[in-house]
Structure 1
Amino acid sequence: MNAQRAAWLFLTPALLVLGVFFLLPVIAALVLSLTDYDLYALADIRNLRFVALQNYWALLQRPLFWSALGHTVYFVAVGVPLSMGASLGAALLLNSPLARCKPFFRTALFAPVVTTVVATAVIWRYLFNTKYGWMNYALDGLGIHPVDWLGDPHWAMPTIILFAVWKNFGYNMIIFLAGLQAIPIDLYEAARIDGASAWRQFRHITWPMLGPTMLMVGILTVSGYFQLFAEPYVMTEGGPLQSTTSVLYLMYDEGFKWWNLGSASAVAFLLFIIMFAVTVLMLKLSRHRQHVDGEPA
């Protein structure tokens, strides 16, 4: 009993912080999503009305919401595999015994992660500027016509995806590197003795042993990429022609541009439901894969 009391005594400060700064705001946002809380209610609380699920129903009928959701899903579907592939490739290179100056490259590749998103996004906006950006300058040297990277609806989202991959892949690289270093070296030595090539070692040792790490990185990356906001906010402001408007950008507009805080809260919870469903699906697919791989041949 004394041990339990001591445990709760140490947990209480952390639970209080989570309750005050996480649980209560979540409950308040959920309540707001069931009301028509807007600028008029902000001025006089008596203008507040309970509307139940009308905010959710109205959002599901708005073409802009489905367009923003489509842009977000496109960003996740393309950006997550690219980010994880770049992270795994960099981790494999840094884990190779042939690599040199590993501390320097680890720091250099991880540096974009700890750099402010706004600062790096502004720099990338200048790099991809149509008139004087270095990217079009390089294309002109190759005889290719300049591309309106951030002003063309067909190129704006791919440019943001490229920026997000460069900005975030270093974080997953560190996780993959830790997973690679946890694999016993004896397995590779036994495989080399049996004559296994580098590809077979990766396929039959590295890839299966990285399964739990891959699942964790996948869930973290998908959750992070669904929360796309800062990149289009700084680089394109949701344009051109709303081609980079994400769900979170729509929530920002609803809440802080039009002051429809009830509708903005509904957007947040709809996004949470989508992210939760995708996470559950990923966990089920992972368990199914483990079950299939564990069956005797």
Structure 2
Amino acid sequence: MQQTHTEETQFPNTPKRNPSSKKQKKPVKDVDNKMGYLFLSPFIFGTIAFMLFPMMYSLYLSFTDFNLVGSPQWAGLANYKEMFTNDPVFWESMRVTFFYAGTAVPFRLIFALLIALVLNRVVEMVGIYRTLLYLPSIVGGSIGVSIMWRQLFGNDGAINSMLESIGLSGHSWLGDPNTAIWTLVILYGWQFGSSMIIFLAGLRNIPGIYYEAAEVDGGTPLQKFFRITLPMLTPVILFNVIMQVIHGFMAFTPAFIITEGGPVNSTLLYVLYMYRQAFQFFDMGYASALAWVMLLIIGIFTAIIFKSSDYWVHYDG
């Protein structure tokens, strides 16, 4: 008792240590964590319920025989074996999809870049032009636009009417296997607005001092484009290429509405074939296997593009 009294006398202003002070801070921190998890719970629940669980269940279904009515019956690798060895329509849809993505994606990106270069020079009313050119990307994937496109290229459509008005004969654009796929490619290129906006933002971020230095050195517009604009725009090109490749492989609505995969499967895109297997033939197990093959293909292409970016993408600084 005497020692304690002596310490209090020597240090009268020293606050007393409360051994439970640390424990009093923990409940506040725990409450903050719980509130954070509470606000995150809709996203976490949505991710698990609508993404992770369906993906894992479809992976399981890809190894089963399931017709949407009975219970899934385990089939092992039968679906994948049937796909690669005994399904010529699978290979035909794969060929059509690769051709579609290989032509439509570059067509859209090149067209979007050209329009962005033009808009980058426009000063007055650029917002109006940008909005009008972006509209096709908003409505381009809708069913209504696909119906309009089918009427436009139909036998009695506006395209044939214009050709006949100048003395040329019309053509069955949607009935000819050689031209049907090109109508879908043109539609995909027409929806260039989203890529154009991204390209335009990238062009606006290129410092003007580079172009001023090129003018002093006597650089031509073509030299400026290939020596300054294109290298500085490569990060934006990388992003657009990846996004459009994914969209190209996943295209469905135009082929489903405009051509229904015909004629003679010339526009049978992969996702349309997968849809037929799932909801027309009710072979959900086989459709799930098709979905995972497409996921693997998209993953491989994305990885290749990312890996190749080390050689052609240039970052400022």
The 4+ residue runs of structure 1 with deviation greater than 6 A are none
Q: Distance in 1 between matches of 2:37 and 2:300?
A: 32
The structure 1 residue matched to 2:196, chosen from 158, 162, 173, is 173
Matched, 1:75 2:125: no
Aligned counterpart for 1:200 among listed residues 217, 223, 239:
223
**What TM-score do you get using the length of structure 1 for normalisation?**
0.90
Aligned-pair CA distance for 1:65: 0.2
* Alignment equivalent of 2:90, drawn from 61, 65, 68: 65
Q: 1:152 aligns with which of 133, 156, 176?
A: 176
Instruction: Tell me the SS of whatever aligns to 1:210.
Output: helix
Pick from 254, 263, 268: which aligns with 1:231?
Answer: 254
1:35-50 aligned at under 5 Å gives the runs: 35-39=64-68, 42=69, 44-45=70-71, 48-50=72-74
Task: Mark the CA change 1:100 to 1:139 in structure 2 (over 3 Å): closer, same or farther.
Answer: farther
Quote the offset at 1:200 in angstroms.
1.2
Mapped partners of 1:124, 1:220: distance in 2: 24
- Counterpart position of 1:189: 212
8 A contact 1:93–1:99 mirrored in 2: no
Q: CA RMSD in A?
A: 2.0
Contact 1:229 1:249 in 2 (8 A): yes
Structure-2 residue corresponding to 1:221: 244
% identity of equivalent residues: 34
Q: State how far apart, in whole Å, the 2-side matches of 1:213 and 1:12 are.
A: 33
- The Cα of 1:13 is off from its aligned counterpart by 3.5
For residues 93-126 of structure 1, give each alpha carbon's deviation from its aligned partner in whole angstroms, at most 9, with x where no partner exists. Answer: 1111x45421121111111111152111111111
C-alpha displacement at 1:90, in angstroms?
A: 0.9
The within-5 A match list for 1:245-264 is 245-264=268-287
- Structure 1 gaps of 5+ residues are none
Number of the residue aligned with 1:28 = 57
Report if aligned partners of 2:199, 2:236 keep a CA contact under 8 Å in 1: yes
Give the match for residue 232 of structure 2.
209
* Number of positions where the alignment pairs a residue of Structure 1 with one of Structure 2: 284
The letter for the 2-side match of 1:274 is I
1:139 aligned to which of 163, 169, 184: 163
The structure with the largest alpha-carbon Rg is 2
Instruction: Tell me by how many angstroms 1:142 deviates.
Output: 3.0
In the alignment, the residues of structure 1 paired with residue 124 and residue 179 of structure 2 have an alpha-carbon distance, to the nearest angstrom, of 37
Unaligned ranges ≥5, structure 2: 1-25
Change (3 A) 1:144 1:100: farther
